[in-house]
Chains A and B, each alone.
Chain A
């Protein structure tokens, strides 16, 4: 029986192992395939999540450009620097800051610096002064384009703003005078109890008080005409020039200079003027901002002059 037992048991066990191994192998392969595709799916999902986070961060940065807290910081900085420029009345300017209103039209996030977390913004600021004070010309609203950067203070005390082209507001603000009407009782900002009227020590009123008239509507700069017809403006550069009086003036001046140079130049100079003109237009149209465009025009005018005077050197 012994040998029969051995023979009777061993073969069935061997057949079962092969089948099981095949089944297990198949299942293992199936699991691998599923795991492969499942892993790929997860990677894509992660990407989507990152994109969502990026979008969310960008939205939060956009908000930093357009938040009331940012506008309040801008306002305080403007008054602080105006007092500094004036060389006096810092305390009065601080108080007036609280009674003034800053509004921003078209706040735009220009770029962000990922290393520092700074968000660079631009917009058109309207600063409404409280009744009883005015700047030169009797204005109670100052309007100007502004570039500003919002970032966290190095000492962790919260966000700070840096203003980069604020002279168009700071200079007139520094001329602030009390106008000939009683200042109304201002509503103190939340969290303060101070209601005293700001005591601006300043020259006599610049103009008759504007008390009876409504707050002047801020007027926008009127655009000058460039050398070309703005109805036909197509490129980014042309459109920008048509929307900016200073660029339009530069364009006109450059065109006059160009015309003179072409008229008075040799055939070689005329060729040079035309060749360099095409390069200038391409460069100008790639400019990301008006500062770049203004610099491009300035460079082009120097170039035209150098060609006309026969001392132009090709750029290295």
Chain B
């Protein structure tokens, strides 16, 4: 069973008297473990698609099925449960909690899901170690570089072993060299975990490293 299926997904926004159709019927399927690049220029609707698929906002038409569960049938609590159990998120900005250190930021989503604290801490150390942050575990985000912050965000997204990670320009706020390194680590970790990923980017070179590339143009996939 695919981890994600969207069927004729539409999303529009009203701006003054005008209605802007951002998604005009997106049909997308992601298989378990598959890493898909969502390629498109700025403003093409990549983020809107990820927001919809991530159940972060409503207002869409059509169908989104995550692990076979129809999102349109879910109430607020149901959407929160699906996000907690099925999805991991990596954003362009890390959105780490500034009051908590690197390990705690990765432990947090695991505790929310009910993982034993010792196991959560061990998992956090392991993930951060793979990403080269063994010496930075106790540092708060403000004491980490941009690349390190984004690595912690990657570890946090994968901490609960979600079947699907949604990443929106995950290295978009890093300089080119750091972005290359962090992106390679991100892909390596996602592959190693056997997690599926839908990664929005406008970088052809990064997109080419993924299993499949879909292009969003004029609100539709090509």
Contacts and interface: CB of A to CB of B under 8 A. Distances in A.
Nearest to B177: A260
Interface string B135-151: 00000111101100100
A85 B112 contact: yes
Interface string A139-154: 1001110000000000
A205 interface: yes
Interface in B156-180: 172-178
A164 B9 CA distance: 26
Interface string B116-139: 110000000000000000000000
A222 B93 contact: no
B93 A204 contact: no
A80 B178 CA distance: 39
B77 interface: yes
Contact of B77 (A84, A144, A257): A84
User: Residue among A203, A219, A245 with the most chain B CB within 10 A?
Assistant: A203
B212 interface: no
Interface stretch (B29-37, B59-67, B99-107): B99-107
A252 B144 CA distance: 12
A167 B109 CA distance: 11
A223 B92 CA distance: 20
Given A87-B81, A143-B99, A221-B142, A257 B108 contact: no
A24 interface: no
B42 interface: yes
B175 A260 contact: yes
A58 interface: no
Interface residues of B, number: 38
A256 B97 contact: no
A305 B97 contact: no
B76 A249 contact: no
B98 interface: yes
Interface in A170-211: 171-172, 174-175, 177, 202-206
A87 B77 CA distance: 8
A72 interface: no
A256 B99 contact: no
B187 interface: no
A204 B116 contact: yes
B51 interface: no
Given A84-B80, A85-B84, A249-B142, 4 more contacts: A85-B80, A136-B108, A168-B97, A221-B99
21 contacts: A84-B77, A84-B80, A85-B84, A87-B77, A136-B107, A142-B99, A143-B99, A203-B114, A205-B117, A206-B117, A221-B142, A245-B98, A249-B146, A249-B149, A252-B146, A253-B145, A253-B146, A257-B175, A298-B92, A301-B173, A308-B176
Interface of B: 42, 76-77, 80-81, 84, 92-93, 95, 97-101, 104, 107-109, 111-112, 114-117, 140-143, 145-146, 149, 172-178
